Amino acid sequence: ENVNTPIVGNSMEFGEGFSADDQKDIEAYKKAKQASQDAEQAAKDAENASKEAEEAAKEAVNLKESDKSYTKAKEACTAASKAKKAVETALKAKDDAETALKTSETPEKPSRINLFSRKTKEYAEKAKNAYEKAKNAYQKANQAVLKAKEASSY
């Protein structure tokens, strides 16, 4: 037996000692992680845009039917558009994470790969939750726009 042979089965270097299925799991994990981060950022963006819309709407209501209330209503619409874009980004990220999850869901695997599968599931769940947050923020932004439009006779 040659004692100089490296034990590649225990290597955690990507590409060494991993089967094609393992590689697929690792790729799915990476995609789900990225998608989760994208979705969480989009949710933050949507929440910020929603706050902008609510602020603008509040000001439009205070300035009722003046030229400035019209401007504030337009600001609320712009903020709602930002929130909508963020929701679309979050939805795409959620879909990407779910696709990655489907790729990694296969029957019993060696324990080291279960870690990737488990993490992929966690990231997919995070992406889904972030999407829901973004969607709720967008709905709030739309409510704010309606208030602003009403106040300004937009």
- Measured between alpha carbons, how far is residue 50 from residues 15, 18, 26, 90, 140 in Å? 44, 45, 36, 15, 6
CA nearest neighbour of 32 among 88, 99, 91, 107: 99
- pLDDT of 67 reads 81
Helix 111-152 vs helix 67-104: angle between axes, to the nearest 10 degrees?
Answer: 160
Ranges 13-22, 27-36, 127-136: which has the least confidence: 13-22
Higher per-residue confidence, 134 vs 10: 134
Asked if residue 142 has pLDDT above 90, the reply is: yes
Higher per-residue confidence, 101 vs 35: 35
Asked if residue 45 has pLDDT above 90, the reply is: yes
Asked if residue 106 has pLDDT above 80, the reply is: no
